[in-house]
Amino acid sequence: MSALRVRGPAAILRGELTVPGDKSISHRAVILGALAEGETRISGFLAAEDCLHTARALAAMGVEIDGVGEPEMVVHGVGLRELRDPGAVLDLGNSGTGMRLLMGVLAGQDFAATLTGDESLRRRPMDRVAAPLEEMGIQVTGQGKGCTPPVTVHGGKPQPITYHTPMASAQVKSAILLAGLYAQGTTVVIEPGPSRDHTERMLRAFGAEVNVDGLRVSITGPPRLRGQEIAVPGDISSAAFLLVAGLLVPESRVTVREVLLNPTRAALLDILERMGADIQIANRREVGGEERGDVTVRTSELTATEVGGDEIPKMLDEVPILALAATQAKGQTVIRDAAELRVKESDRLATTAEMLRAFGAQIEELPDGLVIEGPVHLNSAKVNSHGDHRIAMMAAIAGLVAAGETAVQDAECIATSFPGFADSLGELGAEVTTDE
């Protein structure tokens, strides 16, 4: 689709549905499945562009994967040291997660490989991963002082280190832990705050010796990883758009089933409840080391809040949709400590502010966050996604609240994380069309 058109204000949104598999877990499942011995069966894999680029990169390095592009996949693991030189540059598309995690994997190989991506990814800094890998004795070369892609990892024999990350980042932590699989001894990562912990959980499930003590995570290598069965829960970052729509559109009731409820990812639900949202969670349970459940929201009157500190890493991807919710909350909402959003697929603080102003919101951009006044009446707008899937989806939900027809240009980027997004809105009763 080149444009997504939404007519608002939506009358009522009602329904129960699922969202695609969690992006973070899908990346990690296919990577660890490739490094394990034996078969790894993955159900619920996110068959979206980001994760498919990771799977294709592994296939280019000799990993046989059945069902690439399907929700059910089988990865025939080659073990830690049997990846092969791809013989060509590996294209990760728009996937920063795929690139940073694979940098950690490539650190332990006996060849050099170059990773690149689309125009957006080539602007994103890789120095935060390159720095610890170089401390481990691995040469990494990239472009400019930020080590932007294309980036080349000259594989070798990583040495165990203790590394204090300058920011709470699951991607940085995961890259170091993956490189630590190849180090003889114990590699330690110490973060200044909590970040999502999918890598630690999954490494343990595959047989690695991983210890977590507060903000300190260690891995002892090299382990022997064994293939697993992994059921990927629904992505809470994708569910967030539908849930906020259900909160804002009058007389609505929306249920998203089988949603990831990992406590390092679910802060948005806590924040929305603090703002007065009617949220109910049913069928909560743990499957394969990850908590999941069915989340139901009903239309609610929201009150402003302040968000920052340790909450931010637990809902960083949800800041744009939270900002939209704040436009309909009574009072001034302040979001701080989110400067990391400036180096995502777009400068998400700038694009969120620009997008919401186009709808008539009162929003101020801070160096590390946003200040939003509410509630305000939103009007329809013609906006551009800036090639950022989360900005595009946020704009579509704003269109459900606004009066008139909203057009979101360059909406094809939504396929990066949520193929079928427009269909899901339609299932709930929204008026949505796409221009091909």
The H-or-E segment that residue 303 falls in is strand 302-303
DSSP designation for 311: G
- Residues whose CB is less than 8 angstroms from the CB of residue 431 and which lie 6 or more positions away in sequence, other chains included: 6, 7, 8, 10
Could you confirm whether 317 is annotated as catalytic?
yes
Contact, 343 vs 312, CB < 8 A? no
DSSP designation for 250: T
Place of tokens 């500190």: 309
* Share of the chain residues as helix, strand and coil, in percent rounded to the nearest 5: 35, 30, 35
- Residues whose CB is less than 8 angstroms from the CB of residue 130 and which lie 6 or more positions away in sequence, other chains included: 103, 140, 142, 147, 151
Question: Over the Cα atoms of the chain, what is R_g?
Answer: 21
* Separate counts of helices (H) and strands (E) for the chain: 12, 25
The vertex-384 CA angle with 378 and 386, nearest 5°, equals 125
Contact, 107 vs 155, CB < 8 A? yes
| Options 22, 317, 337, 410, the catalytic residue | 317
Sheet holding 278-287, edge to edge: 14-18, 253-260, 290-298, 278-287
DSSP 142-173: EETTTTEEEEEEE---PPP-EEE-SS--HHHH
Place of tokens 């040291």: 81
Place of tokens 């114990």: 186
Contact, 430 vs 11, CB < 8 A? no
Residues with a catalytic annotation lie at 317
